[in-house]
Amino acid sequence: MSDSEDWSFPADMRPEQAHLDFDLAARLDALVLLRAEVPEDAFTAQTLGTERGGNGVVIDEGLVLTIGYLITEAQTVWLTTQRGAAVQGFALAYDQATGFGLVRALGRLDATPMPRGRAADVGIGDRVFMLSHGGSRHALKTRLRDRRVFAGYWEYLLEQAMFTSPAHPEWSGAALVSERGELIGIGSLLVQEMVDGRTEQGNMIVPIDLLEPILQSLLTTGTSGLPPRPWLGLYAGESDGNLVVGGVADNGPADRAGVQQGDLVLEVAGRRVGTLAEMLRAVWAQGAAGVTIPVMVGREGDLLRLQIESVDRSVLLSRPSMH
């Protein structure tokens, strides 16, 4: 759904100020529209596109928190406030482990920073609010339906991802806000959730709790300060009880080691793995980026033992330049 469309949630799906213990207008004022442009030759251009759009949340003077895939390798970033002012931004940091991204406004942002809370304080079933740029008509009453492991084929794992439903259609970088009016997460994905025995669309949210331990390092160095995880360029998914390679990054570590689409991933460093989460944990347990990862795969009835020379994925990503 485009932000330019004149749409709104039905009145009964939107929060009403009379029933809230916080200033809804002030929270909405923290939301900015984010637009990013990425070079055509960037590593992520083919998978994520060269023009990306979503939301950002002002968390401090001139500092915007968003979901990292919107700004990965972005050379140009524009932020539009609720009042319609457009300010250029700089992609300050992207943390692959959490998925968070930070943008520094290069001009004055006339916006009210949003206070941060603790996602851990919100219980399953609690009412929460998903806010995107566009004012109260883009504010949604929703609920925390679950908290569980989320594994992404792009070698991404959250042990305590948050899942809400009903879904917000402009989830990318949107703010999940508690009943206390505090930011508790950033919108990442559209997913399918089970609600009262039926399937319903929902959102996967990255908990704000993951930001606090790394925020200062992100601000000062652009990185989390933690050792980079080994990256294989191996895109796997679960199918009929098997862990199947859906593809490999061209000339990436797995590709160079001989991993092929359709292979079954059976073991990592001698440890049997049957799920994507198990595979990622086993890979990361071997050490920091650069470590060799022994992997056993099944291919047409044969067992192959491969040695994958991992790398730090961040070195493949282009860096933004200050204009």
CATH code for the domain of 187: 2.40.10.120
Residues 217 and 159 in one domain: yes
Residue 321 has what pLDDT?
65
H or E element at residue 235: strand 234-239
At 216, phi and psi to the nearest 5? -65, -40
Which residues, 6+ apart, have CB-to-CB distance to 276 below 8 Å?
151, 152, 153, 157, 236, 237, 238, 243
Same domain, 30 and 157: yes
Report d(CA 162, CA 146) in Å as an integer.
Answer: 6
Rg of the chain, C-alpha, whole Å: 20
Q: Is residue 96 part of a domain?
A: yes
- Same structural domain for residues 133 and 257? no
Query: What local confidence, expressed as pLDDT, does residue 5 receive?
Result: 56
Structural domain including 279 reads: 234-316
pLDDT at 1: 40
What is the full per-residue pLDDT of the chain (323 aa) written as tens digits?
444 458 999 999 999 999 999 999 999 999 999 999 999 999 999 999 999 999 999 999 999 999 999 999 999 999 999 999 999 999 999 999 999 999 999 999 989 999 999 999 999 999 999 999 999 999 999 999 999 999 999 999 999 999 999 999 999 999 999 999 999 999 999 998 877 888 889 999 999 999 999 999 999 999 999 999 999 999 999 998 899 999 999 999 999 999 999 999 999 999 999 999 999 999 999 999 999 999 999 999 999 999 999 999 999 998 776 55
d(CA 26, CA 131): 12
